[in-house]
Structure 1
Amino acid sequence: MFFIEHGSRRVHIAGVTRHVTAAWATQCARNLLMSRDDARTASIRYLIRGNAGYFTEGFDAVFTAVGARVMPILAGVPRMNAIAERWVGSCTS
């Protein structure tokens, strides 16, 4: 699990597991926000995320609680998450 700050392209590795669950993903989101100061947390306006089953309402609620708008990737719009896809590609090649 990773998060990328769009403006700076800073990558935050939130955790690694072979068995992703909704509870684990939600805790990774909480850990990310706890590691940031209030000003950086308040600057989160959007979260673009995949459509995997472990991104539940609980995961989204972590970000909506700090005022972010959660935007799942739309089907048929491959460029919506291009920065994250490029980062993953650079890690696996």
Structure 2
Amino acid sequence: MTRLGHRIAASTVWEILNAAGIDPVPRRSGPTWHEFLTAQAEGIVAADFFPIDTALGRRLYALVFLEHGTRRLHITGVTVCPTHDWAVRQRDYNLNDSDRLGP
């Protein structure tokens, strides 16, 4: 009908699909987003900077990593001025050491 130039309301499509016993959005193959994240949680690590205000009014920045699988938080370093190179060194040091982040 739409190819012939007729407009069809979404409710009309829903009524047709419902009468035919078809859900409007059929379940697609594969896991849901929740199932995917649950299955991948052991391998997901989030990183962020956490600001720390000292008693003397200075602001420091801690680089933290969160393991989603275990929900363990790792503070890997603290600095006054986080630069790209500093953050990469912290990441590499902590991810390459078997006693630190990861299994």
TM-score normalised by the chain length of structure 1: 0.38
Select the structure that is richer in strand.
2
Larger Rg over CA atoms? 2
TM-score normalised by the chain length of structure 2: 0.34
Select the structure that is richer in helix.
1
